[in-house]
Amino acid sequence: DSKRGKRIGPEDHSHKKLGDASSDPTHFSSENHKLQIKDFIEAINKDKEPLVNGIEGRKSLEIVRAIYKSGKASKPIKFPVSD
C-alpha cells in the first residue's frame, strides 16, 4: 500500500511445497463470480452501470484469448488478438 509507505511485492512462498495448488477448477471459490453476477442483475434492475462493465470484461477476455493463442503457437501474442 503506497499510501502507508509499505512496499508491495510478491508473497513469500518459500515455505510451500510444489503441488500444494489445485489444478481442479471445482476447488476454487465461486464467491467472486456470484458477487459479480449479483451486481450485474442489480445494474439491470436499477438501470445503472455494473461495477465491471463490458469494456473491462472485454479486456479480461482478450487476455484469456491471448493466453490460449500463445500456448497453441508457442510464441508471444500481440494485442489486440487477431483471429
pLDDT tens for residues 7-33? 555 555 555 454 555 667 677 778 888
The length of the chain, given as a count of residues: 83
The model's confidence at residue 6, banded by pLDDT at 50, 70 and 90, is: low
Residue 77: count of CB within 10 angstroms of its CB: 17
* Residue of higher predicted confidence among 17 and 53: 53
Place of cell 456470484: 34
pLDDT band at 63 (very low <50, low <70, confident <90, very high): very high
Q: Which residue has the higher pLDDT, 16 or 49?
A: 49
- What's the pTM? 0.53
**Domain ranges for the chain:** 31-83
Would you state the pLDDT for residue 70? 92
